[in-house]
Amino acid sequence: MSRIDSAVLWTGSDAAAATGGTAATSWAARGVSIDSRGLSSGDLFIALQGPNFDGHEFAADAIDAGAAAAVVAHVPDRVGDRAPLLMVEDTAAALRALGQAGRDRSAAKVVGVTGSVGKTGTKEMLALALGALGPTHANRSSHNNAIGGPLTLARLPIGADNAVVEMGMNHPGEILPLSRMARPDVAVITNVEAVHLGFFEDLAQIADAKAEIFAGMGGAGAAVLNRDNPQYDRLAAAAARAGVAPVIGFGTGPDCAVRLAGYEAETGGNRVVAEVDGRLVAYRLKPDGHHWAINSLGVLGAVLALGGDVARAAAALDRLAAPPGRGARHWIDLGDGPLVLIDDSYNASPASMRAAIETLAVARTGPGGRRIAVLGDMLELGAEETAFHAALAGDLESAGIDLSFTVGPRMAHLHRALPSARRGGHAEASGQIITAVLFALGPGDVVLVKGSLGSRMGQVVEALLAAGDQPAPQAAAGGA
């Protein structure tokens, strides 16, 4: 990705004008941070306050670590009178003001990304694709909420050609202010699925919440929508009401402007052929799974909407590696031979569980190896959570998964629904399943670990990585 992070991002006078604050000294910042632990020298530190934390307690640490200045509502302890401070009434409001000012002064084309699953992976692909065409800025990690959105825009370099802003939500009304601040030129909605259903009556309400992304587009721009998704028509109608046109559909059907024309798993990656506005474009993706290929079509749809070089953008996708917790692969040896660990532990929903199970089903095992799933609770599914968990038994059976371990009170329903021969074991907490999983694994196996963040399945991944050596990937190749 082309970056210009070394340029001055905010001067004291610029930040004061944006926030209505007061800067007693002159300073220049090259970045913006809200966490003193991850701060880089030259960053502007913003001392946010919350119910269980107060960033003012860490302002002195931030300045000692090289912060250019600190945005504070009062002079913090251990900070001298001559320290570089930007005094404001409310630090959270100051962050929002910096985000708005960062967007207002930028000439970048902005792509907004939302959806029930696949947002972060799509954002990472967009950053690579657009980065091949010019300097591009994007959210770090999953900074996509009421704090992460303004933070991303506050970090937007003045000279960027493109920006990618991921927008997440778990309640109605959360995307609306993010869209109005970001003012996307293109809106990408990956899909609408049963995620956070505990806060909505049905999928239609989730679609309406995702459609809030159109509100900030000022009656212009383009919408890029998954035409295979049952909520496509509802989203397209919402885009039309907002004056957003054209609507670019992506997916597998003949009516898609960006259509999956071919997908083939190959050693070291996957070959994708897309038909984009009548022209074939071939490229490679390293992350495994049909869902990655589908989401890459949305990326090409955004490039098409911006008038960019689609083939050049697609070629850049070969550099993408699956992010940690979202399908990253590790080769480990527990003492008697290599096996493959698929780390999909960051989050889970019924749709992403099914996609992960499909990925596991086609994963190459070593000689004598099995396909094993270690699955934690899916959270925020509302009244239907029991049915959603139990229904995964059919997906696991159809996919031919050899053994499934389950974690959490909700996943107990899946454990009971599985045939006894496919039950690996059940535990109420992730830490309690580790020993059983380690005992079961053997050379040539492929093991998937997945669950909602609150189920803490990352503990299982960490334990497996700590228990074995990590040989070169080619050592685990071969098999079925």
pLDDT digits (tens, 9 = 90+) for 378-418: 998 888 899 999 999 999 999 999 999 999 999 999 999 99
Query: Rounded CA gap, 107 and 337, in Å?
Result: 54
Select the more confidently predicted residue: 51 or 186: 186
Q: Decide if 344 is inside a domain.
A: yes
CATH number at 28 reads 3.40.1390.10
Find which of 193-207, 224-238, 330-344 is predicted with most confidence, using mean pLDDT: 224-238
Instruction: Return the pLDDT at 350.
Output: 92
Instruction: Give domain status of residue 4, yes or no.
Output: no
Tokens of 143: 């900074």
Judgement on whether residues 150 and 279 belong to the same structural domain of the protein: yes
Question: pLDDT digit string (tens) for 229-250?
Answer: 999 999 999 999 999 999 999 9
**Higher-pLDDT residue of 201, 88:** 88
Q: Are 173 and 97 in contact (CB under 8 A)?
A: no
Give percent above pLDDT 70 in the chain.
96
What pLDDT score was predicted for residue 260?
97
Residue 100 located in a structural domain:
no
Between strands 10-11 and 28-29, the pairing is: antiparallel
Share of the chain above pLDDT 90, in %: 79
pTM for this predicted structure: 0.84
Q: Does residue 174 sit within a domain?
A: yes
Residues 261, 339 share a domain: no
pLDDT digits (tens, 9 = 90+) for 426-474: 999 999 999 999 999 999 999 999 999 999 999 999 999 999 877 665 4
DSSP assignment of 243-288: T---EEEEESSTT-SEEEEEEEEETTEEEEEEEETTEEEEEEESS-
Residue 232 and residue 353 share a domain: no
Q: How confident is the model at residue 41, as a pLDDT?
A: 94
pLDDT of residue 362: 87
Residue 111, token pair as written in the block: 């792509």
Say how far apart CA 402 and CA 399 lie, in whole Å. 9
Q: Do 242 and 384 share a structural domain? A: no
pLDDT above 80 for 197:
no
Domain that holds residue 33: 10-94
pLDDT of residue 4: 42
In a domain, 3, yes or no: no
Q: Which residues of 80-237 form beta strands (DSSP E)?
A: 85-87, 109-114, 136-138, 162-166, 186-189, 222-226
Q: What is the pLDDT of residues 407-423, one digit of tens each?
A: 999 999 999 999 999 99
Pair (248, 381) in one structural domain: no
Predicted confidence (pLDDT) at residue 289 exceeds the cutoff of 90: no
Structure confidence at residue 335 (pLDDT): 85
Average pLDDT, the chain: 92
Alpha helices in 343-452 (DSSP H): 350-362, 385-399, 411-417, 434-440
What pLDDT, on a 0 to 100 scale, did the predictor assign at position 478? 35
> What number is the average pLDDT over the span 172-191?
96
Indicate if 305 and 178 belong to the same structural domain.
yes
5 located within any domain: no
Per the structure, how many domains does the chain have? 3
Pairing, β 162-166 against β 136-138: parallel
pLDDT, tens only, 246-281? 999 999 999 999 999 999 977 667 899 999 999 999
pLDDT at site 377: 97
235, containing H or E segment: helix 232-241
Give the tens place of pLDDT for each residue, 3-48. 444 589 999 999 999 999 999 899 999 999 999 998 999 999 999 9
Categorize the per-residue pLDDT at 1 as very low, low, confident or very high, splitting at 50, 70 and 90. very low
Domain boundary among 94, 129, 159: 94
